[in-house]
Structure 1
Amino acid sequence: MQYWLFKSEPDVFSFDDLKAKGKKGQEWDGVRNYQARNNMRAMKIGDRGFFYHSNIGLEVVGIVEVCGEIHPDSTTDDPRWECVDVRAVEKVPTPVTLAEVKANPKLAKMSLVTSMRLSVQPVTEDEWVEVCRMAGFKKTP
């Protein structure tokens, strides 16, 4: 299993919006960055990710799961842009802020710190475990 971080502005599409989509989930559309798109190309069904509220909140608020592999993005006719489908798994017990991530030396190399603008980012297993610990999970999801 691989781990990821998906960024969304909560006033545009929040974790609660994703949760409302149910098991079917939602395509992670609108990504127009080659590196973020390539990250989605590497995803497999069952991979987990953090749902991060960007611009407003600046915090990890939920856990998502990839439920549909790469396919054309329905919001454009341009064949360069593809996306995966994700579904909500659960809210984190305690949101983890960007400031907390930056203050943690174990997360100094995390893409959220080093590539802050990238909307779909890889997360290492060690980073996954640490952020889950910070979020208050008793067992890593």
Structure 2
Amino acid sequence: MPYLLKTEPDVYSFADLERDKETIWDGVNNPTAVRNLREMPKGADLIIYHTGDERTAVGTAKALSIDATDPKAPLVKIKAGKKIKHPKTLADIKANPLFKDSPLVIIGRLGVVPLTEDQFAWLVGE
């Protein structure tokens, strides 16, 4: 199952992930988002989404490992993927019927959101 990870681009952007190549995705506090991180399978495809003024899906990544030793603060190691050629804004996402029941639009402040394969493919432009 793919996931979308939200980040404030002025704190840690997709460009930062590209530079670093890998990072530990942590600092998630919302209980539902923490559960989503904890349940994320190794190898999951990821979308990196910039919040704030951008509100745009900008790149892809892959979950390399999940350490849920501390269930309240799982550590997910991710690897940078590629920039999305045609980034999708929140307005684009809300206009697509694929997302009508998605937590991405229903629970706007959720920082880790499960996606369907079809949603992931649309976001990356496949």
Who is 1:64 aligned against? 61
Offset at residue 70 of structure 1 (A): 2.4
Give CA-to-partner distance per residue, 1:20-57, whole Å, 9 cap, x none: 112xx111111111111111111122101110000131
Could you list the structure 1 runs, at least 4 aligned residues long, displaced by more than 6 angstroms after superposition.
Answer: none
TM-score, normalised relative to structure 2: 0.92
Asked if 1:128 is matched to 2:120, the reply is: yes
- Unpaired runs of at least 5, structure 2: none
The percent of aligned pairs where both chains have the same amino acid is 37
- Whether the 8 Å CA contact 1:40–1:70 is kept in 2: the answer is no
Root-mean-square deviation (Å):
1.6
Q: Following the alignment from structure 1 to structure 2, what is the Cα–Cα distance between the partners of residues 88 and 127?
A: 19
Q: CA 1:52 to 1:106, structure 2 compared with 1: closer, same or farther past 3 Å?
A: same
Who is 2:36 aligned against? 39
Q: Following the alignment from structure 1 to structure 2, what is the Cα–Cα distance between the partners of residues 56 and 29?
A: 22
- Whether the 8 Å CA contact 1:52–1:61 is kept in 2: the answer is yes
Who is 2:76 aligned against? 84
Offset at residue 123 of structure 1 (A): 0.4
Offset at residue 71 of structure 1 (A): 4.0
Counterpart pick for 1:94 among 64, 72, 86: 86
Query: 1:36 corresponds to which letter in structure 2?
Result: A
Query: 1:112 corresponds to which letter in structure 2?
Result: L
- Whether the 8 Å CA contact 2:87–2:123 is kept in 1: the answer is no
Give CA-to-partner distance per residue, 1:81-114, whole Å, 9 cap, x none: 2221111110000110000111112221222111
Q: Larger Rg: 1 or 2? A: 1
Who is 1:111 aligned against? 103
TM-score, normalised relative to structure 1: 0.82
- Unpaired runs of at least 5, structure 1: 74-78, 134-139
